[in-house]
Amino acid sequence: MSQHHPAGGDYRAVHDRSLRDPAHFWLETAGRVAWEESPRQALDVSTTPLPRWFPDGRLNITRSCLDRHVAEGRGEQTALIHDSPVTGTVRRFSYAELTDEVARCAGMLAALGVGRGDRVVLYLPMIPEAPIAMLACARLGAVHSVVFGGFAASELAARIDDAAPSVVLTASGGIEPSRRVEYLPAVAEALELAEHPVADVVALEREGFAHGLVDVAGSGRVRWHDWTRLLAGAEPAEAVTVAATDPLYILHTSGTTGRPKGVVRDQGGTAVALSWTMEAIYDVGPGRTMLTASDVGWVVGHSYIVYGPLLAGATTVLYEGKPVGTPDAGAFWRMVDEHRVTALFTAPTALRAIRKADPEAARVADHDLSSLEHLFVAGERLDPETQRWIGEALGVPVIDNWWQTETGWPIAANPVGLEPQPIREGSAGLPMVGYDVAILSPTGEELAAGEEGEIALRLPLPPGTLPTLWGDDQRFVDSYLAAHEGFYTTGDSGFLDDEGRLFVMGRTDDVLSIAGHRLSAGAIEGAVSEHPAVAECAVIGRGDELKGQRAAAYVVLKAGWEDAAERVPEEIVALVRRLIGPVAAFRDVAVVPALPKTRSGKMLRRTMRQLADGREAPVPSTIEDPSVLDQIAELLHGGDGDDAVGEAEVRPSS
């Protein structure tokens, strides 16, 4: 493990200073960034409840991501590796080459009239053109809005209407292990559905797709362009200096009303915050390689595939593939070996998929993983059993971290670039700089260590977090600031232990009320996951006439345990009763072939609860496999009309 700790300092002293003297701390931290005009003011509170960081600073984030590394003599260092097992290709871009590609793409957009403040929607697969286009927008001072490739046309249209772009950038489609997802018909349909008129669409044609530009060009009121031809005639564009408070991007996240919320990130705060995290949290800098197995359509991809590693002058791996199936459960380990990855960042869902396919982690032995120093995990709750399994298999620390699309970088983690703290299973780590974490009761009272409640962040939020929602300041206030005065409410529940470590147990609506006792679905899931047969699980609350709610567990078994499916539920019930106690009144376990998840790996627990309660449960456009919901619904309400979830017989324990 690395011992150089480039960020320097003791965690607790650094965190305390960031809360005690935030202005000095963040102005000092801003020195990591290449400014045109360095900020003299840290935070402008005159606009409260929407304060802004570094209001007098001026920069362009791409100078820090690209140009300065070339100027400092690292132009030949590899900046980006595109690894695509679905096409059988690996492409490498040096910092000099990536800078040139971004400048030419920016020139292509400028020729279409894109400039500072204009919005550009990106609907792209995991190809080099995706991060190149993101950086090209930033270079012009334009605002990119990445929509996950493969979203339905209606979802794309909703995001087009919210961002109101002048240009849409897309490609023929994305490649899945068993199919090709055609993008161009979806884009054409979305443009027809959207009320906002888009002037230009630029499409990159990939081989092997059924629909090309010839099928959509001339449709509707939009001009369609061939990406390759348009780029060939483009002049490179220099970086445009913008205010630190200018928006860098809009990233939409689901809203409770169904209307997506456009989370805004600014240029200056993002550059400063992500630069700090790369050194202090991930211990990644020049000469080191980071593989973040996510998608540029999600916040993890924005922060730790694109901007974070390039700000740090590191090498970033863009992976067009899956944890399993492209070609097998050793895909991550192959890339660590081939690209000498030092930091791997993925989601618990990916690890559970690997564990299901390769329970003994036999694929690990096929590769040289000596370069790997840390495995970082975020996205869903990391259950202790999975944490132990992968840690023992890889022989490296498994570092959980917890954050949100809204915050853009970890609220809690283990800062291995400072002094690594002891890892506690089940904990997301310690609060990071600038985050003053409190646990609140429903009435807003601050709870003591060990007491579970709503996780809230004392205002102001640090740089790099959302300053507002796109075009809707009031919705931002109502959604995040109105519940408890002086706090940002996360919507997650958890507790702090005596040493200040944060344990995130799930969304606040995942807290079960069983006979008057409030129990966390996350805690029950942790107990269920202790059974050796369980690859992954989801626990939801179901209505119960006697107890108000009862917990129901849905479990996916590891490969090789299929013959034990009949006895496993009874064993799980006994295990949960032992680990959680009789208060859980736990009895419902169902073995299922798969769980409903979004394409980013988040479990659709709310949808499952709606199904369980007999309410209408619209199929989310983000779902990875809609047929899984049909299977769950059959279990919940199939057969003779009674509960089809197995109720294991439980004998009194001694």
Q: By the 8 A CB rule, do 68 and 75 touch?
A: no
Mean of the pLDDT values across residues 580-601? 80
651: pLDDT strictly greater than 60: no
Q: What is the pLDDT of residue 2?
A: 37
Mean of the pLDDT values across residues 121-144? 98
Q: Which helix (H) or strand (E) holds 138?
A: helix 129-140
DSSP letter (8 states) at residue 618: P
412: pLDDT strictly greater than 60: yes
Q: Which helix (H) or strand (E) holds 91?
A: strand 89-94
Q: What is the pLDDT of residue 3?
A: 40
Place of tokens 């009789």: 582
518: pLDDT strictly greater than 90: no
Mean of the pLDDT values across residues 422-429? 92
Rounded to an integer, what is the distance from CA 315 to the centroid of its chain?
20
Give the pLDDT band of residue 513 (cuts 50, 70, 90): low
Q: Which helix (H) or strand (E) holds 268?
A: helix 267-280
In terms of average pLDDT, the best of 322-331, 375-384, 520-529, 540-549 is 322-331
Exposed e or buried b per residue across 562-576, where buried means at least 16 C-beta atoms within 10 angstroms of its C-beta: eeeeeebbbebbbbb
289 forms beta bridges with 315
d(CA 393, CA 582): 34
Q: What is the pLDDT of residue 409?
A: 98
Q: What is the pLDDT of residue 20?
A: 97
Q: What is the pLDDT of residue 600?
A: 65
DSSP letter (8 states) at residue 411: S
Residue type, 632: I
Mean of the pLDDT values across residues 128-156? 93
d(CA 520, CA 508): 9
d(CA 633, CA 17): 51
d(CA 586, CA 551): 6
Q: What is the pLDDT of residue 615?
A: 67
d(CA 435, CA 115): 34
d(CA 369, CA 203): 38
Give the length of the chain: 654
Place of tokens 């059993």: 385
| Per-residue tokens: 626 | 């809609």
Quick check: pTM over 0.95?
Answer: no
Q: What is the pLDDT of residue 647?
A: 37
End-to-end Cα separation, the chain, in angstroms? 46
Q: By the 8 A CB rule, do 378 and 385 touch?
A: no
Give the pLDDT band of residue 346 (cuts 50, 70, 90): very high
d(CA 125, CA 183): 9
Which of the following CATH numbers is that of domain 515-637: 3.40.50.10330, 3.40.50.1820, 3.40.190.10, 3.30.300.30? 3.30.300.30
Beta-carbon count within 10 A of 313 CB: 22
Q: What does the pLDDT look like over 244-257, one tens digit per residue?
A: 999 999 999 865 44
Q: By the 8 A CB rule, do 189 and 153 touch?
A: yes
Give the pLDDT band of residue 11 (cuts 50, 70, 90): very high
For the purposes of burial, counting CB atoms within 10 Å of the CB of 267, is it exposed (0-12), middle (13-18) or buried (19 or more)? Answer: buried
Q: What is the pLDDT of residue 387?
A: 93
333: pLDDT strictly greater than 80: yes
Mean of the pLDDT values across residues 292-304? 95
DSSP letter (8 states) at residue 367: S
Share of the chain above pLDDT 70, in %: 89
613: pLDDT strictly greater than 80: no
Give the pLDDT band of residue 650 (cuts 50, 70, 90): very low
d(CA 322, CA 342): 20
Q: What does the pLDDT look like over 539-565, one tens digit per residue?
A: 888 877 666 678 889 999 998 998 888
Give the pLDDT band of residue 519 (cuts 50, 70, 90): low
d(CA 591, CA 509): 24
| Per-residue tokens: 311 | 């700000």
- Angle 276-279-282 from CA coordinates, rounded to 5°: 110
Average model confidence (pLDDT) across the chain:
89
Considering only CA atoms, which of 537, 583, 578 is closest in space to residue 557? 537
Lowest mean pLDDT, pick from 222-231, 271-280, 629-638: 629-638
Q: Up-side HSE of residue 117: CA atoms within 13 Å toward CB? A: 2
Which one is predicted more confidently, 107 or 515?
107
Q: Up-side HSE of residue 87: CA atoms within 13 Å toward CB? A: 19
Beta-carbon count within 10 A of 322 CB: 17
Which one is predicted more confidently, 188 or 616?
188
d(CA 226, CA 338): 34
> In CATH terms, are 95-240 and 515-637 the same topology?
no
Lowest mean pLDDT, pick from 200-214, 314-328, 627-641: 627-641
Q: What is the pLDDT of residue 648?
A: 36
Which one is predicted more confidently, 379 or 509?
379
| Per-residue tokens: 649 | 């017989």
Q: By the 8 A CB rule, do 151 and 168 touch?
A: no
In CATH terms, the fold of domain 95-240 is Rossmann fold (3.40.50)
Q: What is the pLDDT of residue 618?
A: 66
Q: What is the pLDDT of residue 420?
A: 75
Give the pLDDT band of residue 75 (cuts 50, 70, 90): very high
Q: What is the pLDDT of residue 179?
A: 87
Q: What does the pLDDT look like over 57-70, one tens digit per residue?
A: 999 999 999 999 99
Q: What is the pLDDT of residue 352?
A: 87
616: pLDDT strictly greater than 80: no
Which one is predicted more confidently, 381 or 219?
381
Which one is predicted more confidently, 567 or 1?
567
Q: What is the pLDDT of residue 527?
A: 86
Q: What does the pLDDT look like over 440-474, one tens digit per residue?
A: 998 899 999 999 899 999 999 999 999 999 999 99
DSSP letter (8 states) at residue 432: P
Q: What is the pLDDT of residue 644?
A: 35
List for the chain the helix, strand, coil content (%; round to 5): 35, 25, 45
292: pLDDT strictly greater than 50: yes
Residue type, 158: A
551 forms beta bridges with 541
d(CA 412, CA 414): 7
Domain residue ranges of the chain, discontinuous segments joined by +: 95-240, 515-637
d(CA 384, CA 398): 10
